[in-house]
Amino acid sequence: MHIQTRTIHAGYSPQGPSQPVVSAIQPGTIFTHPEKGFDSSNGSYGYARYGNPNRNELETMLANLENGAIAAAFSSGMSAITAVFQVLSPGDHVVVCDDVYHGTRAVLNDIMIRWGLECTYVDVTRSENVADAIRPNTKLVWLETPSNPRMLICDIAKITRLVRAKTPDGAYIHIGVDNTWATPVLTNPLDLGADLVMHSCTKYIGGHSDVLAGAIISRENDTYIDRIRTIQKQTGAVASPFDSWMLVRSLKTLVARMRMHCENAIAVAKFLDSHPKVEAVFYPGLPHSPGHDIAKKQMRDFGGMVSVLFSAEKEQILKEIGSARLFKVATSLGGVESLWEHRQSSEGPRSKTPPNLVRMSVGIEHPDDLIADLQQVLDQL
C-alpha cells in the first residue's frame, strides 16, 4: 500500500464487531503473567518498561513506514540517539557527519568519549571521506541528510557501498541515519542500504509541538537493535502510553502535512534567494544548491527546513527576528506553526554555525502570509 494509506492503517487491526476505529490508551504499568511466568523479554507486556500496547502500535507503524523490521520508541530523540552509541564498547570507533545536530555532538564529546568511544567527524558531502575514515575498530557511521543546520546532503547509497567495500573481513559496520528532517514520507534510508534510522518524533512525526519522543528503526531484527531495545527497557527511557497514542494519531496526517511543509518551504526559499539582504539560502530544493542532484535522487521532495545567511550582524538579527508576526522565535521544528531562530545562540559557545545563520522551520500557514511576514522583517534588517 502507499505510505499515506499505511500511516492510517498500519499497526492496528480491530477484530470482530463493535470495535473502536482507533486504539484506546492503555496506561497500565503492570500486566498479568502468562502461564509460563513473568516474561522479561524485549517488547513483552510484563511491565511497562518492557512493553505497552500503545507503544507497540507506534513501533509497528514506524517500522512499517521506514520499511524496517523492528522499532524502539523512546522518551526523546536524544535518548534514542544515546542508546545507539551506548551499545558500543570502549575503544570502538564511530564516523560522524561534521555538520551534525549539536545535541548529538554533545553526547559524543561530553559523554561517550569519557565512555571510551573514539569519534571522527568528516565532511560527508564527499562520500570518499567516510571510507577514508574507516579504521579496524570502526563499528558505526552516523549520518544526517539534510544536515542540521546547514542543510548539507550526503549520498546514502554511495556511502553505504564505499563503507561495505572498506569494512575489514569478518567485521560489520552499522550505518545509521538521522531521518528527522526528511521523515519516511520523503526518504527511506533503509532502502538505500542503511541499517538504522533515527527520528526525533518530537518534530514532524508529532507535528504539533506537544509530544516529546524518539525512535530507532532497524532494517534487520539483529543483535544491534536487540541491544538498543535492552537499553530502552533497562534504563526506562520509553515513550509513554499517552505520547505513543498521540504520535499514532499525528502520523495519520503526516503525508498531508509534509506536502504543505514542502510547498511552503520552496516558496520561502525562492523568495529569500532573490532578496538583496540575504547572503545565501540553504535548501536542497533550489537547483543551484550543492546537494540538489543527490537530494533529487534520494528524496521525494525537499522538506520543510530552510537555513539562511542574512547580510547583517548577529545582534541585529537577534533583535529583528523577534519582530515577526507569524514566525515564532523557538528552537524546535516540524510543527504546523512556522518557527525560526538564530542558531548559533541556541547551540551555545562551542557552536560551529555561522553567526548570521537563521534556521527556519516553515509551517503550513498560507505561503503568501509567511512571505509577507518575512518581507516586513527584512525591511527593518
Residues marked as catalytic: 49, 101, 178, 203
Cα-Cα end-to-end distance for the chain: 48
Residue 144: CB atoms within 10 A of its CB come to: 26
The phi-psi region of residue 124 (left if phi > 0; otherwise alpha if psi is between -120 and 50; otherwise beta) is alpha
DSSP at 109? I
Cell of 324: 515577526
- Which residues contact residue 342 at a Cβ distance below 8 angstroms, ignoring those fewer than 6 apart? 314, 317, 318, 321, 357, 358
Cβ-in-10-Å burial (0-12, 13-18, 19+) of 222 comes to: middle
Tell me the pairing of strands 196-199 and 174-178.
parallel
d(CA 258, CA 187): 12
Q: How far is CA 374 from the centre of its chain?
A: 26
Three-state SS annotation for 167-192? CCCCCCCEEEEECCCCHHHHCCHHHH
Q: Of 86, 92, 127, 121, whose CA–CA distance to 105 is shortest? A: 121
Q: Position 20: which residue type?
A: P
Q: How would DSSP label each residue in 254-301?
A: HHHHHHHHHHHHHHHHHHHHT-TTEEEEE-TTSTTSTTHHHHHHH-SS
d(CA 56, CA 38): 18
d(CA 262, CA 269): 10
DSSP at 134? -
